[in-house]
Structure 1
Amino acid sequence: MGSKVKRALQLAAIGGIMAGTMVLPTTAAHALPSNCSDIPYGNGWMANCNKGTGTFRAWARCYKIGRDTYTTRYGAWRTPVSDLVSIATCQSSEEVGGGGRQVQ
């Protein structure tokens, strides 16, 4: 193969690679909240995450006293860098029957 042909093939390959990178969409990396914990808190549930990006919130399963039915209550959405916890609280006519955290 002559040097002109090799050079033409190299340029075509580089051009194809460049065109491919220009066509592909770029997406930002998204790391979910991490280093999280959640615990029962009063008549509800508390969650905290202190690393990553995105948001998290607490949820609690709240049972009507004396009944088998429950309502899921949610705390406020928080970001890990905010140093705030999320608390889901059951109403006074309910008792907490478990909970956890939700991340996105």
Structure 2
Amino acid sequence: MSRQMTEMLKGTLEGIVLAILSARTAYGYEITASLRQQGFSDIAEGTIYALLVRVEQRGLVDVQRIPSEKGPPRKMYSLNPQGQAYLDEFWRTWSFLAERLEQLQEEGRRT
């Protein structure tokens, strides 16, 4: 992954993970696997687990411990109403930025 991609992901990964959780309840490894399937192959599990701790502390997700056949209980994360509101704001911000970037790109092509 390029340095530029890494830097851009730092600002958007939280929203990306919350978007995954808006579709379904998941635990850390499932989220990492989903990201890798979508092409984010260089994201480390530790990065996702640290992010999940942060969004849990901020009250954006609900956590339920589910017994696991292999080891300790799994922490299942689901988006709660506060997290959905945060995600909605993330998408509004993303749309604004994407529109402006497209305008800049088009202006650059015309010159």
| TM tier, smaller | under 0.3
Higher strand proportion, which one?
1
The structure with more radius of gyration: 1
Higher helix proportion, which one?
2
Q: TM-score, normalised by structure 1?
A: 0.21
Q: TM-score, normalised by structure 2?
A: 0.20
